[in-house]
A and B are shown apart, each in its own frame.
Chain A
């Protein structure tokens, strides 16, 4: 199905919006169900079959609430932040190839675009925290900035290392390079670069930290900072931050799927590619939830130490090592 150019783009953007909206709503449902299963309780069951209408009820409730802007907050920035936090995630999805031909924009610098927009998320949380003029929010915002800066570096180092062997920033081409069975996925391509599994591990840890998920959830840290940067937000303002968290997880998991898990390529050869892409995507999302309901939160300085003292040197080492292999080969 080939639509003429402006219509095609609009159709895809509407699709991406719907995808993010549905994901944000139903990942909340999934998270609650997963958490419930981990904690031996049923989770949401009341609204609709198996609680499936719960996200809609939650959304309507949040929409019905007043968006309170307390007098001391910076009114413009305070209102701007929730919009700012969700938009980058939407932009990132425009270049993610969900299937062989299912990609809003087949863009040569796709990976760069994902990381460029991915960084805006930090700015939005900083804005939200700062504009709130609440001490908890400001502390959380400061934490988020140093955390995201610290973890963006090893993440980019890992991606750069991968790019050395891949030679392209086009996400579709990256996936096409991984065609031909499970052993051709970047995760297990150890003959190209023996460090591939390590790279994936670093990427995964950075992804957890970048999306502010447990055990690195310093932005919220509900037992210390009440609700962190979102303390002053009510109604859909809070709802948007919440949606953005899940949208960012989807983006992070998508990028991991594209970079390491062979994108839309099927391990067995049945079912369409998009199905396999989503399977891998949600398997990663599930693992993120699994981690959250299993581990306690780390300390903030340990979180930074992990990045600066372990992940960044490891990332740098991997980069140098890979460059050396490529030179010697």
Chain B
């Protein structure tokens, strides 16, 4: 950063400078989807950044209110398509909590394995896309090569490659086979080697480090103000992870760390996600080793889902942060209210404040480091 540049808006108000509005998106290579940014610029400095959202609004919350619980099953995986398993997990768990269904342990273990595989796939997409934002094209294709292996594994058990609808109220729609277990074991081994390569070739690259270190600093206070969660919050030094703080599923049975770095810059968020891939591999390894036999579907799941009237809440740690569903049931077959708390929305909210005073290039690096999925913002 070149120091001492008057980027504070109050300064420019006192001594009027010539500014202009730069419209970034909704069709722009850096916004990865239909996000629009209205940047008020002073030369290449961003004076004010205003995200304009809603281009991919699909009324998921309203859709939840006018269809039965089973009919809403395909929706959660389409809210954040990169993190589909976690969203499904939250939805089936909130309904299971409402109905009081006990899920067999084998189903929970498989849920954890598939969720963590999905987390790695999501972080790999981010890794490739983020480096593409920084002008490095090649890592994208390597990341997608690894992701392809995960997609193949998940395709074999779930039948779909992106918007999985694998979890059911009370368990899973089908059991995993030996091929999946072997494939996952092989993938864990493969991915460990690839992570080492990524660290050597990408993380230690001088240009990359200069581009990320000290750029786009987000304080823990700013995260708290806007409700940012996930890797963004952990990149600001807060070891906050729903899997640890409000343990769900069988996560308490596994040993894993919550990576966090106090710097709060783009590099910290980068390191958090790369470290999370390693932690997810650890969880998968333990889960496969401990995978119990048994059924994958609970015995007593009612044919017609009618949760007793009440207010239910369930949060999971999705790839982008805390995803929570608040379900209000009035005792009918249709939810009265289905409130979705999506992480990308809060993570994007802090962009306007965090980007103030940055150079455009650094602001776009900051935007990339937030790992936004725009349909998750708009839902």
Query: Interface residues, chain A, CB within 8 Å of chain B?
Result: 35, 38-41, 135-136, 139, 214-215, 217, 221-224, 226, 293-302
Contacts and interface: CB of A to CB of B under 8 A. Distances in A.
B364 A296 contact: no
B141 A39 contact: yes
Interface in B341-379: 359-362, 364
Nearest to B1: A301
Interface of B: 1-2, 20, 22, 28-30, 44, 131-138, 140-142, 145, 205, 207-208, 210-211, 359-362, 364
27 contacts: A35-B137, A39-B138, A39-B141, A40-B141, A40-B142, A135-B22, A136-B22, A139-B44, A217-B135, A221-B361, A223-B132, A223-B134, A224-B30, A224-B360, A224-B364, A226-B29, A293-B137, A295-B136, A295-B207, A296-B136, A296-B205, A296-B207, A297-B135, A298-B211, A300-B359, A300-B361, A301-B2
Nearest to A41: B141
Given A139-B44, A223-B364, A296 B359 contact: no
Given A39-B142, A293-B138, A297-B135, A224 B20 contact: no
A221 B29 CA distance: 10
A299 B211 contact: yes
Which one of B28, B133, B137 has the highest number of Cβ atoms from chain A below 10 Å of its Cβ? Answer: B137
A215 B135 contact: yes
Contact of A302 (B44, B137, B142, B210): B210
Contacts of A302: 210
A139 B39 CA distance: 14
Nearest to A293: B138
7 nearest A-B pairs in the assembled complex, by CB-CB distance: A297-B135, A296-B136, A39-B141, A296-B134, A223-B133, A296-B135, A223-B30
Contacts of A224: 30, 360-361, 364
Contacts of A295: 136, 205, 207
Contacts of B361: 221, 224, 299-300
Contacts of A226: 28-29
A131 B317 CA distance: 50
B372 to A, nearest CB: 15
A228 to B, nearest CB: 11
Nearest to A36: B141
A139 B362 CA distance: 15
Contacts of B136: 295-297
Nearest to A135: B22
Contact of B20 (A135, A221, A301): A135
A234 B366 CA distance: 31
A25 B73 CA distance: 52
A224 B44 CA distance: 11
A8 B194 CA distance: 58
A307 to B, nearest CB: 15
A214 B207 CA distance: 12
Contacts of A299: 210-211, 359, 361-362
Nearest to B208: A296
Nearest to B2: A301
B77 to A, nearest CB: 28
A293 B140 CA distance: 11
Contacts of B1: 301
A235 B13 CA distance: 43
Nearest to B364: A224
